[in-house]
A and B are shown apart, each in its own frame.
Chain A
Amino acid sequence: AQRVTQPEKLLSVFKGAPVELKCNYSYSGSPELFWYVQYSRQRLQLLLRHISRESIKGFTADLNKGETSFHLKKPFAQEEDSAMYYCAGGTSYGKLTFGQGTILTVHP
């Protein structure tokens, strides 16, 4: 069965500290992997996808097939990064399996 796991429900860091949101997946075949973000009072939006290998708002995510992980990282967290983050995977872009989500709080 397809499964995406985010082991941390809550993550707190101070401004300027590095942050890493963990994501592990279990899939048959080669899934597409994504990070979505939901800021307060805003709709869910795509942050990163693994095939693009880009950096968005200072965030990067590397697919590690050996560890079946797709952790989201940022070297220096900002207060505006506080949000709910979802890792998701699937074989097509919209038919996704989501993790449980991690609430990131960046303290001043």
Chain B
Amino acid sequence: DGGITQSPKYLFRKEGQNVTLSCEQNLNHDAMYWYRQDPGQGLRLIYYSQIVNDFQKGDIAEGYSVSREKKESFPLTVTSAQKNPTAFYLCASSMVQGPAFFGPGTRLTVL
């Protein structure tokens, strides 16, 4: 699972600012995912991508954007349109037919 890295570990944002969370993997996985983890709510899927230059909305995509220009990278931008962005964000990757491996997470706090 050490093949997925997320940065930064902690991120603070002022209201009205956009911020970008980084996710990189060296596992040669085709698919990558972003989840949001909130206490008592489990993990919820934000966006996912199964191939370079293509991505799909998950269950809670509003206020977020992603790009997939390279196979190993899947950055997530939290925009000012996201009403409640303070959360723990997890990135994951998998082969199309294989288990998902998760990164260590980024904790975003809006001040």
Q: A9-B40, A43-B1, A98-B43 are in contact. Are A93 and B98 (CB under 8 A)?
A: yes
Contact call A86/B97, Cβ cutoff below 8 A: no
Is A94 interfacial (CB 8 A cutoff)?
Answer: yes
CB distance from B30 to the nearest CB of A (A): 10
**Size class of the contact patch on chain B:** 20 to 34
Partner of B42, one of A34, A45, A49, A99: A99
Alpha-carbon distance between A44 and B43 when the two chains are bound, in angstroms: 11
B79 close to chain A: CB less than 8 A = no
What is the number of residues of chain A that contact chain B, defined by CB distance less than 8 Å? Answer: 22
Binding site for A on B (CB under 8 A): 1, 31-33, 35, 40-45, 48, 58-59, 90, 92-105
Which 10 pairs from chain A and chain B are nearest by CB?
A98-B42, A94-B100, A94-B94, A98-B43, A44-B102, A100-B42, A93-B94, A94-B33, A46-B99, A43-B104
